[in-house]
Amino acid sequence: MVELKTAGEIDAMREAGRVVANALAAARAAARVGVTLRELDAAAAAVISDAGATPAFLGYQPDWAPTPFPGVICASVNDAVVHGIPTGQALADGDLVSIDCGAYLDGWCGDSAISFVVGAADPQDLSLIADTEEALARGVAAARVGNRLGDIAAAIGSFTRSRGHGLLADHGGHGIGRAMHEDPDVPNEGRAGRGMRLRAGLVLAIEPMLIRGGDDYRHDRDGWTLRTLDGTRAAHAEHTVAITEAGPVVLTAA
Ligand code: MG
Ligand code: MG
């Protein structure tokens, strides 16, 4: 069931979103060659704890997952697309890192993700990240009253394909509110003018996941991490976005 939020509830979600944005900023600031993914997790965890918020990912176990998620962030490096576990792996020069983070504050959830390179970057990785951010921006711009869900999906998917990238066809965004994952699903590829009509008060996590190579992926042995099948690198960007009469409002802006 799709739940619409009041203006006051959207204000409360913005506070949760701010905590997530700050946690991502802390993880990014901590990231450099030789630093471990676990250290990035600790940086984000400290921000969430200091804000009086609760991590949304830690202990999360959807029905497909073999174990509760062990981190505050997902840290997905290089060929890992999403759901990477923040292990003791140390960052190497040129690694493409995607960090996803969620938190609850006063009963409301925020969910956001960023991608960046540590050390000397391959220009193609920077291009992939820029395209992922542009795909997100186009999805956000389509999140308007009177549009349909398919307009968001088409905006993301058509741009992604025009740039020659792969994407995870069966993973995408979601409604968000008191729970991290609410209805509706928000696909990253689809047909404009189709699907649910967008109304004021709908809050969505929009999250393109782009791949330098093909669409195919595999599950890592850890049961969580999704990796590209061809070994090419992937990037992820996400914002929690409220649809209002005045247009889309990003609740997880940095
Ligand atoms: Mg997320
Ligand atoms: Mg999400």
Asked, for residue 94, whether it belongs to a domain, the answer is yes
Closest ligand to residue 113's CA: 1
User: Which ligand is nearest to the Cα of residue 203, counting in written order?
Assistant: 2
HEC-encoded secondary structure of 19-88: HHHHHHHHHHHHCCCCCEHHHHHHHHHHHHHHCCCEECCCCCCCCCCCCCCCCCEEEEECCEEECCCCCC
**Spatial separation of the C-alpha atoms in residues 21 and 87, rounded to whole Å:** 22
In a domain, 2, yes or no: no
Which ligand is nearest the CA of 186, by number?
A: 2
Span from the CA of 214 to the centroid of ligand 1 (angstroms): 22
**Which ligand places an atom closest to the C-alpha of 82?**
1
Which residues 6+ apart lie within 8 Å of 62 measured at CB? 181
In a domain, 207, yes or no: yes
Ligand nearest the Cα of residue 172 is 2
Contact 89, 64 (CB under 8 A): no
Q: How far is the CA of 211 from the centre of ligand 2 (A)?
A: 17
CATH of the domain at 141: 3.90.230.10
Radius of gyration in angstroms for the set of CA atoms belonging to the chain, rounded to a whole number: 17
Pairing of strands 226-228, 217-219: antiparallel
Interacting residues of 200 by C-beta distance below 8 A, sequence separation 6+: 4, 145, 243, 244, 245
Overall domain count for the chain: 1
Q: How far is the CA of 111 from the centre of ligand 2 (A)?
A: 5
Q: How far apart are CA 138 and CA 189, in angstroms?
A: 12
pLDDT at 45: 98
CA of 145 to the centre of ligand 2 (A): 21
| Buried-state track 155-175, b at ≥16 Cβ within 10 A, e below 16 | bbbbbbeeeebbbbeebbbbb
Provide the pLDDT for residue 254: 86
- Put simply, whether the predicted model's pTM sits higher than 0.85 gets the answer yes
The reported pLDDT for the residue numbered 163 is: 98
Asked if residue 1 is part of any domain, the answer here is no
- CA of 111 from ligand 1 middle (Å) equals 5
Q: What is the whole-number distance in angstroms between the Cα of residue 205 and the centre of ligand 2?
A: 5
Domain range enclosing 123? 7-250
**CA 187 to ligand 2 centroid distance, Å:** 12
pLDDT for 187-218, tens place per residue?
999 999 999 999 999 999 999 999 999 999 99
Spacing, Cα 246 to ligand 2 middle (Å): 24
Span from the CA of 74 to the centroid of ligand 1 (angstroms): 8
pLDDT digits 0-9 by tens, 106-145: 999 999 999 999 999 999 999 999 999 999 999 999 999 9
pLDDT recorded at residue 169: 83
d(CA 75, ligand 1 centre) in Å: 11
Q: What is the pLDDT along the chain (254 residues), one digit of tens a residue?
A: 899 999 999 999 999 999 999 999 999 999 999 999 999 999 999 999 999 999 999 999 999 999 999 999 999 999 999 999 999 999 999 999 999 999 999 999 999 999 999 999 999 999 999 999 999 999 999 999 999 999 999 999 999 999 999 999 899 999 999 999 999 999 999 999 999 999 999 999 999 999 999 999 999 999 999 999 999 999 999 999 999 999 999 999 98
CB 233 within 8 A of CB 78: yes
How many angstroms is it from 221 CA to the middle of ligand 2? Answer: 22
Which ligand has the minimum distance to the alpha carbon of residue 236? Answer: 1
Alpha carbon of 113 to those of 5, 17, 74, 198, 236: distances in Å?
22, 11, 9, 23, 6
* For the CA of 241, the nearest ligand: 2
The three-class DSSP label of residue 215 is: coil
Name the closest ligand to CA 204: 2
